[in-house]
Amino acid sequence: MRVLELSDREEAAAYCGKLFARWGAHVTRIEPAGRPPATEADTLALHGGKALATLDLDAPDALDRLRSSASDADVVVCDLPVARLEACLPALEAVPVRVLLTPFGRTGPYRDAPATASTLMALGGHTFLSGDPGAAPLTVPGRYPYYQAGSYAYLVALAEHLAGTNVTVDVSVLEVTAGAHQFTDVMWINGQKVRSRHGSRWENLVPTTLLPCGDGWIAMNVLQNFWQPFALWIGGPELAEDPRYTTNDDRLARRDEVEALVTEAFKGRPMRDLFREGQETWRVPVGYMPSMLGGLEDPHLVARDFWRPLPHPRQPSLRVPGSPFRFVDEGLPTERLPGDAPTLARSIVAGVLAGGTSDRPLAGIRVVDFTRIWSGPLASRILGDLGAEVIKVEAPTGRGPRVVTGGGGYWPPDGPGDRPWNRQALVNKLNRNKSSVAVDLKDSRGREVALRLVAASDVVIENFSARAMPSLGLGYEALREANPHIIYMPMPAFGSFGPYRDYVGLGPSIEPLSGLTSLMGYGPDEPRVSATAITDPAAGVTAAGAILTALWRRARTGEGALIDLSQGEAMSAYLAEHFVEAQLEGREPERLGNAHPSMSPHGVYRCDGEDEWIAIGARDEAEWRALDHVAGLGWAGHARFATLAARLEHRDALDAAIEAWTRGQQKHALAQRLMAAGVPAGAVNSAPEWLLHERGYFSALEMAEAGVWTSDGSPFEFDGTRSYAAWRGAPRLGEHNRPVLAALGYTEAEIEALEAAGVLVDMPPA
């Protein structure tokens, strides 16, 4: 398989190309002549294994030369600026799959506007939620929006390549960013509740935060079911039985008291000892915060061989993050895969869902979905959006975990006359394009239903703890016996092997282990977490990409696969250049708040109104001069700001000058003025302000027994259109029990017997 990567930056296309190169494709990266050179850390982290070339896109024969370079490509991935990209398109027409990545899409009011990761995180609603109340919101360090978009581009390109289509796929990085919310949008769209920021605290769960210990920081994510063992750990039976802290609402009302108890219990104790004790003795979801260099010595990552050696003349022991997923039976394949795409192997049973999905690339692929909460359901939802038939196997109780909110109670609440089988909004959001089978897997007859379904399917995905599926008799050996060609995608927090294999983890406790927290905060003294569990969507899209990679592999070899994936490693992979830079420099990266190590200005600035902010950045001198022109205050004429080196040296003074200018201005109007002038800028949006409506991003789907629900959509446009017309809303619990079991060969009498025994249900218990 041959991939052409056309790019002038180390952003989305570079990350997509890295994934292709890692898994055996021949990747040629073409850069416009004269672009600023990449840093050494970026080159090492992103471009290993690629053939690198330059092309003067302004030369008279540029299109002919580009057409020649693309003549044998199967896929082209491009993230040039929109005008430049569209000028190149005539030379790329012969490439079957064309994936075009732009900050805002090739249509809409912002199509030609520049962007940075910081402005995209602001516009997409993330920055508003990170940082301390009353202080400037914090942007997530690094290139999260771009690498998340690159991961989406990788999986959709693979899907289209395997389907043998000829298509142009547009990917909006802003829409990818907006889709990385769990329930922020759900709370607003369905309840008009605006989620807010609370420092390292999770808004609605106590204790879920980052707290100091003897030599660093400990993260915890204590859901209600973990409170008893956690309380026994930090305070013994007296605390575990104290009625003041029994429920999450009780602890919310006494948050400071609870966190003080935890801090006192952990005072003076080493963070790695606390991590091991909390996990191994008490089995509660805690994590610790290694430094960037310290993460290279984490015993779990070392045992899993996550860090891959990369020979370097100055750093012979240099290591880079490896793949966050791998095939357990073969390790990492290195041979080149063939350029001709075999046809996807299709499922044995077809047509459980009514209506056609044949216009989408994964039509005919069946996925058995045992996932819950967020990262797993997101992965299977992506596959369903792309046309796979996703059959969600649910517990007979049906209702997923609610979002616990501050101020008491749960969200969304049960409304008057709420019928027991109505789904919560978060369940509806994550389970569109799926069918539902509700079966008791603890019963041997329910296990038999699951195995018969696996025998007629292509993929199994689950995100339980590593112990759960084997304990049900549904471990990999049982699944492979039922179907030798099955692709099995478990998603435990820390992967399927290594010292932490059996540890429990959720987004807020996993995030610090990834390295992100060591980079994030207002300064050197105290780190912050994103407080949005941003590792989960990274893991979800990575898992979907892993499944597409396994389908690619199966098309070549005919073999199924056991995939090993670590959610924390998915986020660490997004920080590869930071790990490399720390090793090259021999020191920890500086925690810069909203500043950037190589851009100035780059920050989040106060605007007119309470808690109103704007993100602004300047990547080069042209953007800096454009900002200076819009402001009209002569900043560029000051010696302190005349060059990038001077601006980096005096960035505090420059940030103060910019904020004095932005403070009296309306953030949306100012952002639009700056974007129109060629300056990357973005209003720091709360949920009701996301600027995606004009592109038709949101989907509105009929949900079983619940009416029409508006939710996030897909960041893909296929030949200029979205595929929402073929989508279906989330199903009712057990809605497809009978058609699925009938397709598997169960008789009417057998189905009725399972229903009578309570093995098969279509309504949760009262």
Could you give the residue numbers annotated as active site? 536
| Contacts of residue 651, Cβ cutoff 8 Å, sequence gap at least 6 | 595, 600, 601
Provide long-range contacts, Cβ within 8 A and 24+ apart, for 304-313: 304/495, 304/497, 304/498, 304/566, 304/569, 306/566, 306/569, 306/572, 310/44, 310/48, 312/44
Alpha carbon distances (Å) from 474 to 7, 373, 444: 45, 20, 11
Phi and psi at 689, nearest 5°, equal: -105, 0
DSSP 523-565: SSS-B---SS-THHHHHHHHHHHHHHHHHHHHHHH---EEEEE
Record the tokens describing residue 342, joined without a space.
């075999």
Alpha helices in 79-169 (DSSP H): 82-88, 117-123, 144-163
- The residues with which 76 forms a beta bridge, in sequence order, are 4, 98
SS3 231: helix
| Contacts of residue 225, Cβ cutoff 8 Å, sequence gap at least 6 | none
User: Largest Cα–Cα distance in the chain?
Assistant: 86
The number of beta carbons lying within 10 Å of the beta carbon of residue 293 is 17
Which parts of 93-243 are beta strand (E)?
97-102, 167-172, 208-212, 217-221
SS3 198: strand
Do you find a cis peptide bond into 412, omega within 30 degrees of 0?
yes
User: Taking the mean position of all CA atoms in its chain, how far away is CA 544?
Assistant: 10
- Between CA 314 and CA 579 the distance in angstroms is 16
- Between CA 4 and CA 429 the distance in angstroms is 35
- Between CA 140 and CA 127 the distance in angstroms is 7
98-115: burial string, b at 16+ Cβ within 10 Å, e else: bbbbbbbbbbbebbbbbb
Beta-sheet pairing, 167-172 with 716-718: antiparallel
Alpha carbon distances (Å) from 741 to 392, 651, 695, 744: 13, 65, 40, 5
Which uninterrupted H or E stretch holds 259? helix 255-266
- Between CA 98 and CA 92 the distance in angstroms is 8
Place of tokens 């302190």: 640
122-148: burial string, b at 16+ Cβ within 10 Å, e else: bbbbbbbbbbbeeebbbbbbbbbbbbb
N-terminal to C-terminal alpha carbon distance within the chain: 54
- Between CA 741 and CA 639 the distance in angstroms is 75
- Between CA 509 and CA 222 the distance in angstroms is 9
Q: Which of 752, 732, 726 is nearest to 437 (CA)?
A: 732
